[in-house]
Amino acid sequence: MKLLILLNKNKPAVSETFIQIQIQYFNATSQNIYKYTTPYSEAKISLFTRIFFLIKKTIGAIKFFHYVKKNKIDVVLAQYGMVGADAVFFCKLLKLPLIVHFHGHDAHRKNIIEKYQPVYEKMFKYVSSIIVVSTKMQQKLLEMGAPKDKIFLNVYGVDLDENQQPNNGKNCLAVGRFVDKKAPYLSILAFEKVLKVHPNATLTFVGTGYLFETCKRIIVAKKLENSILLLGEQSNQQVKNLMKEHGIFIQHSVEAFDGDSEGTPVSLLEACSFGMAVIVTRHAGMEDVIKNNVNGLLIEEGDLDSMAENIIQLLEDPIRCNRLGYQAKETIRNNYTTEKSLQTLQSVVESIFKKDNQKKQHC
């Protein structure tokens, strides 16, 4: 069986480790769908532009056909809903089974839903399977018309470091892009409250994005440069090294005003795998993973006081911090390993491949 993974770019982003792992695991080929077509749009465009897009799509279909035949592709896995929607035309033309993997903004951001709803509906009818990474995402797609029997919940997986013991140290870590749905500025404001009680505590941020300079300005304006460190983008290995050195992981994700939401953040799973005590919001897939005061702490979105209070409590109670970290690691061991996630995805892909083969034999 040969799998083609369709992307919205030439290669996965640094933060998209889950896609990189899938490509390696399946020994799959990968292609940028927009080498063959243009993103869907219902905007009013001139007749000349429509003709141009039609010609481009026709040429793209011919090129896609040759690529599929040359590489003997059996199944297509589209990463992100928009990619799947833009690939339906080609897959339907070639009678290729299509699996669409949703991740976050593709199921939640209002402008994307408004733009893609018509083609999502067509896609839902054609696709063989739809992969989601949280129960909230599953519910969202059901509301949009996705057939329940086609949806499979498969959260990302991470590797366990068996040698790493829970670290009850007093340093806090946050990992993620500096974007609205991750609300890094709220973590900064909450940590400012922590520093009034524990002035020697530190918070280290990893990541970059359009809010990076804004957050840097806030830190400088409040004279927090010695307590809150912005490291920018770091390699996967550097992130893992930081998780070994820090005891508390925080993430104050929120539903952005444009509707954008998380899937299930890989950084949260990685933090749990290193035995970090985690404090996160009741948001998207994080509630699937974290049970309050069992394997981490949950707060409401926007509740800075609760985030600060929980950080303070863990700083002052290393035994509890250690216990939560231990349970977090056990949660990963039992439910969210890379092996388990890939095996689940493999079972879906192989099932689709077998059904397609049986259908062809009967024709």
Residue 43 confidence class, pLDDT cut points 50, 70, 90: low
Q: Residue 45 pLDDT > 90, yes or no?
A: no
pLDDT of residue 192: 98
Whether 73 and 175 map to the same domain: the answer is no
Would you say residue 165 lies in a domain? no
Q: What's the mean per-residue pLDDT of the chain?
A: 94
| 185 shares a domain with 130 | no
CB-CB contact of 57 with 38 (8 Å) = yes
Which of 333, 314, 332, 334 is CA-nearest to residue 323? 314
Identify the DSSP state of 43: S
Give the model confidence (pLDDT) of 189-218 as tens digits: 999 999 999 999 999 999 999 999 999 999
pLDDT value of position 164: 65
Contacts for 102 with CB less than 8 Å, ≥ 6 apart: 80, 81, 130, 131, 132, 133, 137, 141, 263
φ, ψ of residue 206 to 5 degrees: the values are: -120, 130
Q: Tens of pLDDT along 278-319?
A: 999 999 999 999 999 999 999 999 999 999 999 999 999 999
Q: Do residue 215 and residue 189 come from a single domain?
A: yes
CB 85 within 8 Å of CB 127:
no
Q: How confident is the model at residue 230 (pLDDT cuts 50, 70, 90)?
A: very high
Judgement on whether residues 104 and 23 belong to the same structural domain of the protein: yes
Residue-by-residue DSSP string for 257-320: TT----S--HHHHHHHHTT-EEEEES-TTHHHH--BTTTBEEE-TT-HHHHHHHHHHHHH-HHH
The residue with greater pLDDT, 187 or 359, is 187
Compute the distance between CA of residue 93 and CA of residue 191 in angstroms, rounded to an integer: 54
List pLDDT tens digits, range 89-135.
999 999 999 999 999 999 999 999 999 999 999 999 999 999 999 99
CA distance 294 to 162: 21
Q: What is the CATH number of the domain that holds 232?
A: 3.40.50.2000
Residues 38 and 126 in one domain: yes
Which of these, 245, 207, 203, 210, lies nearest to 224 by C-alpha position?
203
Do 184 and 309 reside in the same domain of the chain? yes
pLDDT score at 50 = 78
Boundaries of domain holding 209: 171-335
Q: Are residues 186 and 328 in the same domain?
A: yes
Rounded Cα distance between 46 and 52, Å, is: 10
Taking each helix axis from N to C terminus, what angle separates 266-273 and 318-335, rounded to the nearest 10 degrees? 110
Amino acid 104: pLDDT: 95
pLDDT-derived band at 22 (thresholds 50, 70, 90) equals very high
pLDDT of residue 167: 63
Q: What is the pLDDT of residues 153-191, one digit of tens each?
A: 999 999 987 776 666 567 999 999 999 999 999 999 999
Domain assignment present for 164: no
> What integer is the mean pLDDT of 245-254?
96
Q: How confident is the model at residue 4 (pLDDT cuts 50, 70, 90)?
A: very high
**328/345 same-domain check:** no
Grade residue 14 by pLDDT with cuts at 50, 70 and 90.
Answer: confident
* Complete edge-to-edge strand list for the sheet that includes strand 98-101: 29-32, 3-7, 75-79, 98-101, 129-132, 151-153
**pLDDT in the model for residue 169:** 64
Assign 40 a pLDDT band (cuts: 50, 70, 90): confident
Q: What is the dihedral of CA 160, 161, 166, 172, to 10 degrees?
A: -90
Dihedral sign from CA coordinates of 324, 330, 336, 342: positive
Within a domain: 161: no
The pLDDT, as a whole number, for residue 49 is 80
- 215 within a domain of the structure (yes/no): yes
Whether 149 and 227 map to the same domain: the answer is no
* Residue 22 is assigned to a structural domain of this protein: yes
Block residue for tokens 């950084």: 267
The predicted structure's pLDDT at residue 362: 73
Specify the range with the lowest mean pLDDT, choosing from 1-5, 15-19, 62-66: 15-19
Q: How many domains does the chain have?
A: 2
Query: CB of 156 within 8 A of CB of 132?
Result: no
- What percentage of the chain exceeds 70 in pLDDT? 97
Q: Is 25 contained in some domain?
A: yes
User: Is residue 356 classed as helix, strand or coil in its secondary structure?
Assistant: helix
Cα dihedral across residues 17, 129, 36, 42: positive or negative: negative
8 and 128: one domain? Answer: yes
The rounded percent of the chain whose pLDDT value lies above 90 is: 87
Task: Please give the average per-residue pLDDT across 336-346, as a whole number.
Answer: 97
Indicate if the pLDDT at residue 329 is higher than 60.
yes
- Could you give the 3-state DSSP secondary structure of residue 239? helix
Q: What is the pLDDT, as a whole number, of residue 134?
A: 97
The answer to whether residue 356 scores a pLDDT higher than 90 is no
Higher pLDDT, 287 or 57: 287
Query: Model-level pTM?
Result: 0.93
Domain membership flag for residue 163: no
Looking at the fold, whether 197 and 82 belong to one and the same domain comes out as no
Is 147 inside any structural domain? yes
Residue 140's pLDDT band (boundaries 50, 70, 90)? very high
Same-domain pairing of 84 and 119 = yes
Mean pLDDT of 345-352: 96
CA distance 203 to 249: 9
